[in-house]
């Protein structure tokens, strides 16, 4: 097994943040990311980058963080009780993009690395991450493209990797209280170390680098689609689901808050505007109804 190298992972993540920000700025054509560097009193810090009021992107953020401390938070030890009593380093890049046009999906991606150490014992480490897509007015062509990119980057790592991590994504980004998926999924993986450090790191890099390949073509195809206020209101209503998931179910949000992370950076994923409506039901046969009937459930997208 190759030696675990935190600094190599950190260098890749910093470069990945730069690459993704440059790609999104080019796709928007107007707005630029503004960086807010921060430090964590208990150890570590990060670079929060936010883009606002662009021609394409209403608001989004691409964050890098590296935090460390003497003990793991409850959100981590509940999931992995063997981590209790260990010091830790956690580093990653996390992003959420909320476009203006309702015909461009919201997107999320995250890649991360954890290592927990205790004197006299071998370190416990793993990679995690993935990306997922949340459309409001989905186009099957876009969904298939998103999943084809995901499958193509998974295939070199094993015949079952795409199916396994697609299924995990469908199950993780599921709003139990609503009985629906957050969107059309993608990839989700966690606790990845069984391949050894080098192969696991290679996979994490493939996922991180695959995000722009998956997302930018969809932006380009949908950014000039005509829209209206009714579609805007539906977009804002569905953004409410995004808020619900992040505040109720997302382990990353809980981890960040419980480790004393920077609240502004953790909640960067929230949309700039959202709305709730009591007992909303889309009109039968409408584009809005199509989202609920055909897309907010796990499907084998590549076979359609």
Annotated binding site for a divalent metal cation: 98, 108, 147, 177
Nearest Cα residue to 191 out of 269, 120, 124: 124
**For the purposes of burial, counting CB atoms within 10 Å of the CB of 86, is it exposed (0-12), middle (13-18) or buried (19 or more)?**
buried
Q: Which residues are annotated as a binding site for substrate?
A: 94, 110-112, 260-262
Provide the annotated binding site: 94, 98, 108, 110-112, 147, 177, 260-262
User: SS in 3 state form for the chain?
Assistant: CCCCCHHHHHHHHHHHHHHHHHHHHHHHCCCCCEEEEEECCCCEEEEEEEEECCCCEEEEEEEEEEEEECCCCHHHHHHCHHHCCCEEEEEEEEEEEEECCCCCCEEEEEEEEEEEECCCCCCEEEEEEEEEEECCCCCHHHHHHHHHHHHHHHHHHCCCHHHHHHHHHHHHCEECCCCEECCCEEEEEEEECCCCHHHHHHHHHHHHHHHHHHHHHHHHHHCCCCCCHHHHHHHHHHHHHHHHHHHHCCHHHHHHHHCCCCHHHHHHHCCCCCCCCCCCCCCCCCHHHHHHHHHCCCCCHHHC
Determine contact, residues 162/154, Cβ cutoff 8 Å: yes
User: Could you give the CA distance from residue 221 to residue 227 in angstroms, rounded to a whole number?
Assistant: 14
- The tokens describing 289, both together, are 């109804």
User: Is 89 a known active-site residue?
Assistant: no
Catalytic residue among 66, 89, 108, 145: 108
Name residue 51's beta-bridge partners.
60
**Catalytic sites, residue numbers:** 108
């Amino acid at each position: 097994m190759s030696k675990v190298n935190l600094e190599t992972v950190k260098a890749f993540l910093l470069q990945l943040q730069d690459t993704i920000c440059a790609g999104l700025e080019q796709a928007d054509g107007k707005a630029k990311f503004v960086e807010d560097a921060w430090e964590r009193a208990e150890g570590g810090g990060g670079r929060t980058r936010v883009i606002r009021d662009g021609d394409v992107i209403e608001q989004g953020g691409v964050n890098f963080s590296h935090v460390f401390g003497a003990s793991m938070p409850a959100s981590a030890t509940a999931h992995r009780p063997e981590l209790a009593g260990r010091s830790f380093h956690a580093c990653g890049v996390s992003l959420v993009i909320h476009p203006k046009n309702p015909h461009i999906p919201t997107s999320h991606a995250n890649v991360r690395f954890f290592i927990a150490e205790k004197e006299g014992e071998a370190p416990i480490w793993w990679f995690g991450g993935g990306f997922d897509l949340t459309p409001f007015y989905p186009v099957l062509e876009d969904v298939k493209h998103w999943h084809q990119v995901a499958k193509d980057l998974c295939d070199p790592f094993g015949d079952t990797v795409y199916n396994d991590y697609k299924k995990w994504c469908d199950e993780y980004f599921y709003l139990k209280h609503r009985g629906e998926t957050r969107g059309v999924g993608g990839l989700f993986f966690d606790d990845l170390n069984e391949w050894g450090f080098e192969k696991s790191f290679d996979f994490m890099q493939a996922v991180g680098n695959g995000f722009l390949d998956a997302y930018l073509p969809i932006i380009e195809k949908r950014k000039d689609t005509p829209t209206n206020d009714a579609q805007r209101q539906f977009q804002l209503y569905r953004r409410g689901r995004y808020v619900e998931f992040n505040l109720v179910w997302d382990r990353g949000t809980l981890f960040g808050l419980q480790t004393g992370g920077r609240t502004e950076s953790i909640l960067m994923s929230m949309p700039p505007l959202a709305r709730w409506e009591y007992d909303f039901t889309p009109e039968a046969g409408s584009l809005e109804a199509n989202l609920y009937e055909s897309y907010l459930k796990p499907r084998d997208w590549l076979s359609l």
